[in-house]
Amino acid sequence: MARQEKIVLWIDRRWLTAIEKRLNGQTLQEHMEDVLDEICNQLPEREYKRISAEIYAEDAARRTEEEAARTYAAYHVVENGQEWYFKTTPGEELLDAAEKLCGYVTAEKGTVPDLFIKMFADGQPITVEEYNALTALRMENTGKVRGVFDVNFDKQEFSAVHIMDGWQTWVMRDVSAAVYHATRSQFASSDDKWRKLLDHLSGKEITSAGHLSARNFSFGDEIIESDGKLNFYVQTEFDVDAAFGTFVLTDKNDDWLNIYANYDIAEDRPCDMLELTLCKGDGSEESWSYPLNAAEQDVLLRKMEEYCQQQTGMSLHDYAQQFREEPEQQQGPVMKL
């Protein structure tokens, strides 16, 4: 790392005052720094470049080391029709973020900021793309991202990314109640608080648009190859109306929903869209796509892999490989002239 030497000069204050009057607004320290820069510039060019390169390399290594040790949490917050994306460091885990939420929603008026984002004084604004990248990194479980949260006050929903299940969403009042039970004992250890929080949230998960989890991806029927894709039929054993804005979970119509998750054979990866077809009681159909975010794509791939193993005894890669090889097998050997 860079080796810094401290140079101390003592000067009578009267000399200091007189000198700084003639330095055009500069302090004596600033002037001396300029003098040192000028002296450095007068060194032989080769020596100047060598020392500059060493200092730059040491500074870059220090920044890299600091960044490697730094951890984050990422937030998407919707409140009063506005939305924000930001990150914090060292970043909050689920219990920390839930406590912050509870403190905000249960506090007496005037004792907390007027917006939830103001509870994070050191929050750094980020783009949607950065938020998605941090979500993907969270799913990799490297420890770099301690939590990813979507806090929607307009819908009264609190969502967090779980490294195995993807998104988990709860109604805010359930999160607030769970925090109360988890933290009311001042003698409880961190582990006890975690356990109580999860116990009180267990079974209270809801389905939310943009927050599909592993429990939403169960498949039925055979895996079908069509147009260069492997089609997985997603069973509609969850609240599809909440997830996709439909109106099929009712006895007021005879509509039903078909959902397909596709695996691109050539790209050897899941497609980033679900394909949906609303089949109406009058015989008409309406089709559209649902974009999958990073957490949803990650858990979808895991569930596809698991189902493919069950159905074919093969990994997704190996099963798709058969279809990649078929055109070559059908073409047969090519004669060279």
* pLDDT by 10-residue block (mean), the chain, 337 residues: 78 92 91 92 92 87 78 97 96 96 91 94 95 96 95 98 96 96 89 95 96 96 94 96 94 94 95 96 94 96 96 95 71 41
Measuring CA to CA, which residue among 209, 196, 114, 109 is closest to residue 157? 209
C-beta pairs of 198-202 under 8 Å, 24+ apart in sequence: 200/174, 201/168, 201/170, 201/174, 201/175
User: Does residue 207 sit within a domain?
Assistant: no
Contact 76, 83 (CB under 8 A): yes
Q: Which two tokens stand for residue 65?
A: 């080391």
My answer on whether 20 and 48 are in the same domain is yes
My answer on whether 62 and 152 are in the same domain is no
User: Does residue 304 sit within a domain?
Assistant: yes
My answer on whether 108 and 24 are in the same domain is no
Residue 84 neighbours by CB distance under 10 Å = 17
Look at residue 7 in the predicted model and tell me its pLDDT.
86
Domain boundary at 167, 201, 235, which? Answer: 201
Pairwise CA distance, residues 310 & 130, whole Å: 36
My answer on whether 234 and 281 are in the same domain is yes
- Who contacts 266 (Cβ-Cβ below 8 Å, separation ≥6)? 228, 324
Sheet of strand 229-234, all strands in order from the earlier edge strand to the far edge: 219-226, 229-234, 256-264, 269-279, 285-291
User: Does residue 334 sit within a domain?
Assistant: no
User: Does residue 40 sit within a domain?
Assistant: yes
My answer on whether 91 and 109 are in the same domain is yes
Contact 206, 170 (CB under 8 A): yes
User: Does residue 249 sit within a domain?
Assistant: yes
User: Does residue 7 sit within a domain?
Assistant: no
My answer on whether 49 and 128 are in the same domain is no
Contact 265, 317 (CB under 8 A): no
Domain boundary at 143, 169, 201, which? Answer: 201
My answer on whether 163 and 190 are in the same domain is yes
C-beta pairs of 115-124 under 8 Å, 24+ apart in sequence: 115/79, 115/80, 116/77, 116/79, 116/151, 116/153, 117/75, 117/77, 117/79, 117/84, 117/86, 120/75, 120/86, 120/88, 122/88, 122/89, 123/75, 123/86, 123/87, 123/88, 124/86, 124/87, 124/88, 124/89
Assign 259 to helix, strand or coil.
strand
Domain boundary at 173, 201, 229, which? Answer: 201
Look at residue 327 in the predicted model and tell me its pLDDT.
57
| Residue ranges making up the domain that contains 49 | 13-69
Look at residue 3 in the predicted model and tell me its pLDDT.
73
- What is the tally of structural domains in the chain? 3
Compute the C-alpha angle 126/171/93, nearest 5°. 45
User: Does residue 33 sit within a domain?
Assistant: yes
